[in-house]
Structure 1
Amino acid sequence: MTVARSVALFVVAALFEIGGAWLVWQGMREHRGLLWVGAGVIALGLYGFVATLQPDGEFGRILAAYGGIFVAGSIGWGIVADGYRPDRFDLAGAAVCLAGMAIIMYAPRGG
């Protein structure tokens, strides 16, 4: 159950971070206003909090592994929110990042 909890936390963190960054982008670049920016800042703060709930206590490991989630999640967010159409290289790169994330987080470690 620890891996399932960890994956769920990564997904929630991704929603907050990618969503927060998207809200700031929309507020500033798409001129939707400071309310969008403020909501984005709050979401980004929540991302930082969610990351602390990971079962593993190593900050560097958590953030490095989260990088893979962020890459794949950003492509997914772009597809859903902005109509982005990734090419095969985008998808292959995201798959490599997710594989790297799984190795970093869930490889068996001794001692």
Structure 2
Amino acid sequence: MEGECECSREFFLFILAGLVEIGGGYLIWLWLREGVSFCYGIMGSLILVLYGIIPTLQDFPYFGRVYAAYGGVFIILAVFWGWAIDKKIPDFYDGLGALISPIGVSVMLWGPRT
């Protein structure tokens, strides 16, 4: 039961980090590319600072491994963000890439090591 709880916490932190990074980046995108208020850029920047903090809450000991594994989670979240927020329907290759990425994440985080 304890391992289950820890895995849920790790998963939650990966999802939270992804949503914060994409959300902050999206606000800056809106400011610079879509011409919305400068306040969007400020808010996006502050949210991205939060993104820099969230991965440090992971229990995995290596920075590179956490960020590389997070990248796989980010791929999935970015595809869903584009679909839900930008209303851009993912094509076959978007879906295929999103399906493949959890395999890489799993290998990096839980592969047997000596």
TM-score w.r.t. length of structure 1: 0.94
Aligned match of 2:67: 63
* Equivalent position SS for 1:21: helix
Q: Residue 102 of structure 1 is aligned with which of 94, 98, 106? A: 106
Greater than 4 Å deviation, 4+ residue runs: none
TM-score (norm 2): 0.91
- The structure 1 residue matched to 2:27, chosen from 23, 28, 34, is 23
Rounded to whole Å, the distance in 1 between the matches of 2:38 and 2:102 is 34
Q: Does 1:79 align with 2:66?
A: no
- How far, CA to CA, are the matches of 1:47 and 1:98 in structure 2? 20
Number of positions where the alignment pairs a residue of Structure 1 with one of Structure 2? 110
Q: Partner residue of 1:9?
A: 13
2:85 match: secondary structure: helix
CA RMSD after TM alignment:
1.0
Aligned residues: percent identity? 37
Q: Which runs of 5+ in 1 are unaligned?
A: none
